[in-house]
């Protein structure tokens, strides 16, 4: 390992420069004006794989943004690992809250600040660099490796889902490795054994046939914005309880170990979460421990409401139409399609009678639960233990990685969710960052993980 | 009168061209990028007054957009009429719903379509043309006339309020005439004896110190958008009842005549309103007649909600801040400052405990009630009767003209609210229009009104 460590130390600065080059490309997958940038970010990943020495490294066209595919299959008799990541990033609004521009990566206090630094370019780049180190030091990789990187993770991931469902054969593998999660702190290595699923919906509310003046019609006009407020307030109350009939009945009982971990909070995660949010008290269902609320309970959030007038000044308009983006996070036992049907029905029943409502499922993904007793999970745990000097904790995460559920369902292999992000990385928010020490420890861990997979 | 009628007929087309020229100027007072246009629209009005032969016609500088002032005081012994209007217009969003561009005035089906056609440039232009006709036919005006036209009616009207409060002396008059209202139909002349007041507020809700990812924090994070939905749904229920303690106690009892008019709806206005809105049923407090609900009851409407993400696609953000624009329409007996205090207190009490709330009164205006027995109201009624061949109905309107309350309070003169708009003029909405027959009948009516004021 000394040779590998020397290689990593020697090429430290170039690894960071390669990451910066990737972060400079504003690959925002949801904004059509960035389509060219998204393509450029994909090409950058292909070049990285070619530089590592992959025998195949190419773009796969899709109906949307291209997939990056690479393979190195010269370890006969050894297992094949499918590595997943995404090269697309979230939009940057509100842009005015960024300390430095989102696409001018800047190092401050041993962190690199940029949109996508943690989610997910930094975490994918550390895999590239682990592969490079292994290849250049050992002359080969310890296992067979397939790499599949998508450009629509922040936009619903439709293309990769279509590809995996229609072309599963070339992706055949013994384990999947996803590097898109975070750990409680730099000192505490962790493996994620559970993720929540998601449905992301749009609720459209229609009132009069045109926008109306509130002076002339106020008192007799349906107001779709007001109707939306009523629907949203009825869907979830101020105490965090979701009022969708049939929802909570689908929930499995947690294990005793889980209950104990959530209740005792040995890593003091509650306090860390409170500090990250900058609030006096945690919100939500107070009768459940916070760690259960963010990982194993269903939640419902409204992300934006449009319609009417929100510009400078005053406009006394009653809009004809209003829309809300509302998502639900789902424990792994919830089937997104079933939950969407319950959601849609509840919205229609909760809507005031003077408006009509349309509910659309913009995208959805299943949750996932992986046993810590599988071989790949054990290899990952051993690698983390060596690099961090202590055994990892096993955690359930509140976020959604639909691809993990898809690997589970289609490829039917264990999925290792080992990421190196930190809780204060500001994912999807201004001033997203990634810790440099986590970046380099991630490289070290991945080299060891792949070596252990060969044993 | 034959000579006046001939003059109007002869100059019909030029009157329309002069209106079109004014409507082409996008004088949107709330958008800073249109400041130059607003100024140009003011200069256009000055030129119109000069062309009539006014001895003074000039701009008065203010802290905001300029006032247009004109006077012709060569009728000694005759009353002085103060004429008011506004040359600014509403924003044009949603622009894509306009059949023809908002600032390219177009005549279709005997209507002129443009932003500001009815509110209020068309109604001010008809006064200019009535003055021109009187001056050119008679060589003088029958009464003394002062003209005061503002450029901030759609932006709160602060400058004219400041001017009137600090400089009332030059505005001394015997009656004020405001042409900024509408009638039930082309066949039914009307005078407005009541207007509602308004408070237009912004409610800001603060949660965490930064935007959060709903996967990581969903279940323990305060969501300001959700809190706003709860506040709004608690402020007004689905049946139109406002839950602000102390509000309804301030309401005066309507007269028996009013009750009877609202109940019997002799002009079939309910059906017209329903058709204009394109709805199956009228919304709101079903236990009160619709005409009472839109003219004499307090109402509360949300006009827009900002915060989070409303762009294309999906962003799973829990915003740190959300804001709503909420207005209330107020019967004349309600004092805006008192109602705002009740509103602010109610919002704070109704807000969930995990957010903080700030409430701002963006602007407000008092309502007004004028007796139909005053001399100016009688002169206006007689003029309408001559032109339309029937006596006008006396109506209370639901909209707000703060300036009417100000004339009442500061100048202490009767205010004649005689406008010629129609209910389907699409004020503040796409495809705003003004009826050409109302435009010309308005010119005829105003010439007669001023003549009768001299008797």
Q: Can you spell out the DSSP letters for B375-392?
A: HHHHHHHHHHHHHHSSPP
Contacts of B305 in chain A (CB under 8 A): 225, 229, 305, 307-308, 310
To the nearest whole Å, the CA of B344 is away from the closest chain A CA by 18
- Same domain, yes or no, for B354 and B376? no
Residue B266 in domain:
no
Nearest Cα neighbor of A400 from A228, A170, A195, A210 is A195
Q: What percent of chain A has pLDDT over 70?
A: 100
Q: Is pLDDT larger for residue B218 or for residue B363?
A: B218
Task: Kindly determine whether residue A430 and residue B211, on different chains, have CB atoms separated by under 8 Å.
Answer: yes
Residue B238 in domain:
yes
pLDDT tens-digit readout, B107-144: 999 999 999 999 999 999 999 999 999 999 999 999 99
Could you tell me the two tokens for B220? 């323990």
Contact A212, B277 (CB under 8 A): yes
Residue B29 in domain:
yes
Out of B103-117, B231-245, B367-381, B426-440, least confident range: B367-381
CA separation for the pair A194, A292 (Å, rounded):
12
Nearest Cα neighbor of A434 from A154, A127, A153, A122 is A122
Residue B213 Cα distances to A137, A194, A302, B58, B239, angstroms: 39, 17, 12, 57, 35
Helix, strand, or coil (residue B189): coil
Task: Kindly determine whether residue A215 and residue B309, on different chains, have CB atoms separated by under 8 Å.
Answer: no
Contacts of A325 in chain B (CB under 8 A): 308-310, 314-315
Mean pLDDT for all residues in chain B: 95
- Same domain, yes or no, for B168 and B243? no
- Same domain, yes or no, for A246 and A351? yes
CA separation for the pair B118, A206 (Å, rounded):
26
**Torsion sign across C-alpha atoms B274, B280, B284, B289:** positive
Residue B43 in domain:
yes
Task: Kindly determine whether residue A30 and residue B155, on different chains, have CB atoms separated by under 8 Å.
Answer: no
Residue A296 in domain:
yes
- Same domain, yes or no, for A235 and A306? yes
Across the interface, of B211, B232, B428, the residue whose CB is closest to A317 is B428
**How would residue B359 be classed by pLDDT, with cut points 50, 70 and 90?**
very high
Task: Kindly determine whether residue A314 and residue B430, on different chains, have CB atoms separated by under 8 Å.
Answer: no
CA separation for the pair B232, B74 (Å, rounded):
55
Contacts of B208 in chain A (CB under 8 A): 277-279
Could you tell me the two tokens for B56? 């003074």
**How would residue B402 be classed by pLDDT, with cut points 50, 70 and 90?**
confident
For residue A202, what is the nearest residue in chain B, using CA coordinates?
B314
CA separation for the pair A182, B216 (Å, rounded):
10
CATH code of the domain in which A327 resides: 3.30.70.360
Of A365, A390, A411, the residue that ends a domain is A365
Q: What percent of chain A has pLDDT over 90?
A: 88
- Same domain, yes or no, for A431 and A339? no
Structural domain count, chain A = 2
What is the ipTM metric for this complex?
0.77
Mean pLDDT for all residues in chain A: 95
pLDDT tens-digit readout, A307-362: 999 998 888 999 999 999 999 999 999 999 999 999 999 999 999 999 999 999 99
**Torsion sign across C-alpha atoms A256, A259, A264, A268:** positive
Could you tell me the two tokens for A334? 């919830």
- Same domain, yes or no, for B423 and B332? no
- Same domain, yes or no, for B353 and B384? no
To the nearest whole Å, the CA of A59 is away from the closest chain B CA by 24
Residue B82, preceding peptide bond in cis (omega within 30° of 0): no
DSSP state of A69: E
Contact B303, B219 (CB under 8 A): no
Contacts of B431 in chain A (CB under 8 A): 210
pLDDT tens-digit readout, A158-211: 999 999 999 999 999 999 999 998 898 999 999 999 999 999 999 999 999 999
- Same domain, yes or no, for A375 and A332? no
Could you tell me the two tokens for A47? 């070049």
Probe site for chain A from B153, B200, B210, B214 (most A CB atoms < 10 A): B214
pLDDT tens-digit readout, B220-255: 999 999 999 999 999 999 999 999 999 999 999 998
Which residue segment(s) compose the domain that B384 sits in? 2-195+367-453
- Same domain, yes or no, for A371 and A361? no
| Mean predicted confidence (pLDDT) in B173-179 | 96
Q: What is the model's pLDDT at position B373?
A: 86
- Same domain, yes or no, for B251 and B389? no
Task: Kindly determine whether residue A315 and residue B303, on different chains, have CB atoms separated by under 8 Å.
Answer: yes
Residue B274 in domain:
no
Task: Kindly determine whether residue A318 and residue B327, on different chains, have CB atoms separated by under 8 Å.
Answer: no
Of B310, B334, B364, the residue that ends a domain is B364
Residue A262 in domain:
no
For residue A242, what is the nearest residue in chain B, using CA coordinates?
B219
- Same domain, yes or no, for B377 and B340? no
Probe site for chain A from B154, B292, B304 (most A CB atoms < 10 A): B304
Residue B313 clears pLDDT 90, i.e. is over it = no
Q: What is the model's pLDDT at position B1?
A: 55
Contact A232, A324 (CB under 8 A): yes
- Beginning with the edge strand found earlier in the chain, give each strand of the sheet holding B106-108 in spatial order: B106-108, B111-113, B433-435
Across the interface, of B232, B237, B283, the residue whose CB is closest to A221 is B283
Q: What is the model's pLDDT at position A451?
A: 97
CATH code of the domain in which B393 resides: 3.40.630.10
**How would residue A409 be classed by pLDDT, with cut points 50, 70 and 90?**
confident
Which parts of A24-99 fold into alpha helices (H)? 35-52
Residue A267 in domain:
no
- Same domain, yes or no, for A330 and A376? no
Could you tell me the two tokens for B163? 């001017």
Of B364, B398, B417, the residue that ends a domain is B364
Q: What is the model's pLDDT at position B169?
A: 95
For residue B195, what is the nearest residue in chain A, using CA coordinates?
A215
| Mean predicted confidence (pLDDT) in B330-344 | 96
Residue A1 clears pLDDT 70, i.e. is over it = no
Task: Kindly determine whether residue A220 and residue B309, on different chains, have CB atoms separated by under 8 Å.
Answer: no
**How would residue B53 be classed by pLDDT, with cut points 50, 70 and 90?**
very high
């Amino acid at each position: 390992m000394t040779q590998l460590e020397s290689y990593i130390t020697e090429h430290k600065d170039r690894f960071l420069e390669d990451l910066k080059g990737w972060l400079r490309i504003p690959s925002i997958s949801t904004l059509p004006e960035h389509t060219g940038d998204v393509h450029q970010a994909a090409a950058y990943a292909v070049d990285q794989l070619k530089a590592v020495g992959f025998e195949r490294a190419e773009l796969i066209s899709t109906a949307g943004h291209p997939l990056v595919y690479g393979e190195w299959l010269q370890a006969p008799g050894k297992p094949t690992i499918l590595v997943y990541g995404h090269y697309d990033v979230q939009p940057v609004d509100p842009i005015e809250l960024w300390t430095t521009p989102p696409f001018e990566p800047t190092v401050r206090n041993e962190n690199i600040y940029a949109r996508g630094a943690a989610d997910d370019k930094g975490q994918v780049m550390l895999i590239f660099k682990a592969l490079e180190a292994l290849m250049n030091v050992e002359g080969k990789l310890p296992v067979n490796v397939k790499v599949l990187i998508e450009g629509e993770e922040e936009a619903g991931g439709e293309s990769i889902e279509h590809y995996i469902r229609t072309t599963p054969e070339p992706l055949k593998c013994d384990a999947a490795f996803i590097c898109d999660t975070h750990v409680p702190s730099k000192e505490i290595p962790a493996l994620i054994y559970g993720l929540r699923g998601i449905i992301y919906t749009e609720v459209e509310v229609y009132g009069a046939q045109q926008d109306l003046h509130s002076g002339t019609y106020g008192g007799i006009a349906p107001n779709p914005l007001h109707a939306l407020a009523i629907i949203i307030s009825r869907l979830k109350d101020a105490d965090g309880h979701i009022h969708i009939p049939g929802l909570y009945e689908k929930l499995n009982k947690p294990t005793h170990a889980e209950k104990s971990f959530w209740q005792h909070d040995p890593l003091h995660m509650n306090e860390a979460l409170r500090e990250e949010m900058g609030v006096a008290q945690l919100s939500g269902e107070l009768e459940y421990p916070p760690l259960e609320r963010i990982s194993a309970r269903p939640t419902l959030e409204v992300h934006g409401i449009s319609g009417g007038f929100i510009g400078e000044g005053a406009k006394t308009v009653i809009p004809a139409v209003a829309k809300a983006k509302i998502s639900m996070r789902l424990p792994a036992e919830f089937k997104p399609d079933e939950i969407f049907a319950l959601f849609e029905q509840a919205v229609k029943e909760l809507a005031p009678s003077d408006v009509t409502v349309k509910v659309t499922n913009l995208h959805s993904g299943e949750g996932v639960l992986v046993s810590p007793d599988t071989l790949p999970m054990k290899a990952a745990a051993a690698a983390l233990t060596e690099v961090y000097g202590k055994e990892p904790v096993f955690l359930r995460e509140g976020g959604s990685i639909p691809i993990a559920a898809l690997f589970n369902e289609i490829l039917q292999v264990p999925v290792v969710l080992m990421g190196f992000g930190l809780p204060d990385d500001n994912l999807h928010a201004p001033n997203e960052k990634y810790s440099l020490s986590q970046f380099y420890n991630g490289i070290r861990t991945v080299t060891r993980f792949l070596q252990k997979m060969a044993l």
